[in-house]
Amino acid sequence: SADYNGTWDIVSNDNFEGYMVALGIDFATRKIAGVLKPQKVIEQDGDCFIIKTYSTFRNYTCSFKIGEEYEEVTKGLDNRKCQTVVNWDNGRLVCVQRGEKKNRGWTHWIEEDKLHLELRCEKQVCKQVYKRS
Ligand code: RET
């Protein structure tokens, strides 16, 4: 299926504010985070992933193996603990982050050499698109 490896630069970021509000991120942090142009560096080795989100303000790394639930601490985001699992769905990476927040998770997919990311929390959906760096 899809090859996620590479460095990806954000080109659009729709409703990141709504997503951050749903996570309970404070006003000052949201104002800073809302204007960032994050970059993703993805290292994929079969079913093992390391996904790094870099920005001038804060970075976030997660690493996982498909189908293996792990405890994720969303350090520097909303600082919660989630029971997280990522599965394949027709080339898409579908993540469920079980914890205090309902309907929390994300989906990554590649379409026409663009990396798409949908971030979900409660009733909010943030949609980001990245191009190859
Ligand atoms: C930043 C800056 C500080 C505030 C917030 C951030 C959001 C990061 C997010 C990362 C998502 C990563 C994913 C990785 C996939 O494996 C940019 C670190 C809120 C939402 C989905």
Spatial distance between the Cα atoms of 31 and 117, rounded to a whole number of angstroms: 21
* Residue 105: how many other CB atoms lie within 10 Å: 18
User: Per-residue pLDDT tens for 103-121?
Assistant: 999 999 999 999 999 999 9
Pick from 19, 36, 47: nearest CA to 105: 19
pLDDT for position 18: 98
**CA 53 to ligand 1 centroid distance, Å:** 6
Spatial distance between the Cα atoms of 49 and 102, rounded to a whole number of angstroms: 25
User: Per-residue pLDDT tens for 4-62?
Assistant: 999 999 999 999 999 999 999 999 999 999 999 999 999 999 999 999 999 999 999 99
Local confidence band at 129 (pLDDT 50, 70, 90 cut-offs): very high
Spatial distance between the Cα atoms of 74 and 67, rounded to a whole number of angstroms: 19
Pocket of ligand 1 (CB under 6 A): 20, 25, 29, 33, 36, 38, 51, 53, 55, 57-58, 60, 62, 76-77, 106, 119
Q: Which of 47, 60, 79 to mutate to test the pocket of ligand 1 (most atoms within 8 A of CB)?
A: 60
Q: Are 87 and 70 within 8 A, CB to CB?
A: no
ipTM of this predicted structure: 0.95
For residues 69-99, one letter each, b for 16 or more C-beta atoms within 10 angstroms of the residue's C-beta and e for the rest, the string is eeebebeebbebebebbbeeeeebbbbbbeb
pTM of the model: 0.97
Q: Is the predicted pLDDT of residue 2 greater than 90, yes or no?
A: no
Pick from 5, 6, 9, 33: nearest CA to 19: 33
